[in-house]
Chains A and B, each alone.
Chain A
Amino acid sequence: MEGDCHYLLGNINARRRVEFVRNLLLEIGLEASRVQMFNLSSAMGGQFAEYAAKLTEEIRQLGPNPLRKDPLYTTETSTGE
């Protein structure tokens, strides 16, 4: 649960970083809802399945990632070192 993480405040830090990624997706022009975060404990199997089904359905409605499988979308990087 929020703030009740095995790593103490870890899931609050994680949520802030997830928000950063969601905003980045919006800036890029993709739907933020492709990335979502849910708080669960390892003992909440039923709830996990429910969230997974919910997210799967939402993403199915959004359709496939429009950037997938395109020669323009390269991941080439270099470090200059």
Chain B
Amino acid sequence: MIIAEQKPLDEIMGLLGSDERVLVVGCGTCVTVCFAGGAREAAIVAASVRMTSKLNSVPREVTDVTVQRQCEWEYLDEIKEQISDADIILSLGCGIGVQAIAERFPDKWVVPGLNTTFLGMPTEQGVWIERCAACGDCVLGITGGICPIARCSKSLLNGPCGGSEDGHCEINPDIDCAWQLIYDRLSRLGRLDALLELQPPKNWSTSRDGGPRKITRDDLRLAAEEE
């Protein structure tokens, strides 16, 4: 899932400026599961903004609403009247949600309440860790299900660097060396030969090197929407 965390309240207050009618929009998908921008967090942020504004004598009306997914028009259309009534939208969605609102409501000012941080998973309650870099050319089939792009600090593709020490990364001993993990796992499963196969250079054009990415599936498109 997409992992995000809330911006400090001070920064949020700065982004809101002097706009009076604020609509806090939570998202019911990834940021709900990582406790950053779901209905509960939207209500807490709305109350916090309300209280801070009152303490600073800033006139303000704050309401909150949470949609199932901020990154799809159909869910945003459900709240178009509330958006229309607001001077400013504080999105608690990921960066995609913020941009979806900006694109769907071109006349409305929208600001982010979260920092979108990475694609990852919880390893225990309250702890999230990066697992995927969305490089667009998955190598997990060679590396035993452990991603060297997301989990090696240097995104190396040819084994550990000299900074790997006792299975830990030189940038932080709390980080496991991804290549040590890969080697140990392949070794345990008797599949080390997978690493001996020659691999062509990785195609980074599917990653950010190729610019903003897009997928088009003709089998799913509707004839009327084709351009």
Q: Is the C-beta of B65 less than 8 angstroms from some C-beta in chain A?
A: yes
Asked if A27 and B43 make an inter-chain contact with CB atoms under 8 angstroms apart, the answer reads: no
Asked if A28 and B65 make an inter-chain contact with CB atoms under 8 angstroms apart, the answer reads: no
Q: Is the C-beta of A50 less than 8 angstroms from some C-beta in chain B?
A: no
Asked if A77 and B79 make an inter-chain contact with CB atoms under 8 angstroms apart, the answer reads: no
* Residue from B48, B54, B66 in contact with A70 in the complex, judged by beta carbons closer than 8 Å: B54
Interface size grouping (class) on chain A: 10 to 19
- Which residues in B have their C-beta under 8 angstroms from that of A75? 47
Asked if B48 and A78 make an inter-chain contact with CB atoms under 8 angstroms apart, the answer reads: no
Q: Is the C-beta of B67 less than 8 angstroms from some C-beta in chain A?
A: yes
Max chain B CB contacts within 10 Å: which of A24, A70, A77, A80? A80
Asked if B56 and A29 make an inter-chain contact with CB atoms under 8 angstroms apart, the answer reads: yes
Residues A10-47 near B (CB distance < 8 A): 24, 27-30
Asked if B55 and A29 make an inter-chain contact with CB atoms under 8 angstroms apart, the answer reads: yes
Max chain A CB contacts within 10 Å: which of B8, B52, B78? B52
With A and B bound together, what is the CA distance between A75 and B51 in angstroms?
10
Contact of A30 with B43 at beta-carbon distance under 8 Å, contacts A79-B65, A79-B66, A80-B67 already known:
no
Max chain A CB contacts within 10 Å: which of B8, B10, B54, B63? B54
Sample (10) of A-B pairs whose CB atoms are under 8 Å apart:
A24-B9, A29-B56, A67-B54, A67-B55, A72-B50, A74-B62, A75-B47, A76-B63, A77-B64, A80-B78
